[in-house]
Amino acid sequence: MGKKDNLVQYFWQITYAHTIAYFIAGLLSKIFMNYDELWATEIMSSFYRPIDAPIISLAIFLQMPRGILIALFILPLRKAFFVENRGLLKLGLIVLGFSAISTIGAVCSSYEGYIFLKLPLEIHLIGYPEILFYISLFVGILYVSQKFVHKKIIIISSITLMIFIGFFGIMGYLAAKGII
């Protein structure tokens, strides 16, 4: 397998690991953390779109290009994450640090958010179970993907899940728009 094949494989693994982890974490959080009710509260509805907005349904499909961006951004550190000892643990900590806790902007659940947003502490804390579950899934999927990289079941499963998730997102969007 050449360098180009390894790069394609790398981008594919990051993209499907992110998309699948995002889908599962989001779906389970929606169910068990009652996001329908939470997002309808006065404080959350002032800055979140309604949970049944068409773009929210499409968000899962839009995670595929986001996965490619993630792969691109961490490409210079690929060896540190995929070759070095405990590399995926390092990746998980980096994702937690830069995409959740220490974001540049003041977003809910971030360090800056605690300082600049008027949100009560419980609103900041409510997202952490989903964040931690997503990161665990993302790193776990990457671990399995790396460990069994040439197993056909991994390749077939990843393709099947990505098709299902893409279809689910597009159909949800079309349904929310009233097209189907």
The tens digit of pLDDT for each residue in 72-103 reads 999 999 999 999 999 999 999 999 999 888 98
Q: What is the pLDDT of residue 1?
A: 47
H/E element, 111: helix 111-116
CB 16 within 8 A of CB 70: no
Residue 95: the pLDDT is 94
Summary count for the chain: helices (H), strands (E): 10, 0
Q: Is residue 40 part of a domain?
A: no
Residue with tokens 């599962």: 24
Note whether residue 15 is domain-resident: no
Work out how many domains the chain is built from and give that number: 1
- Its domain, for residue 108, covers 20-34+54-176
pTM (2 d.p.): 0.91
Query: Looking at residues 122-139, what average pLDDT do you find?
Result: 93
- The pLDDT tens digits for 20-74 are 999 999 999 989 988 888 888 888 888 889 888 999 999 999 999 999 999 999 9
> 97, 131, 126, 142: which is closest to 22 by C-alpha?
131
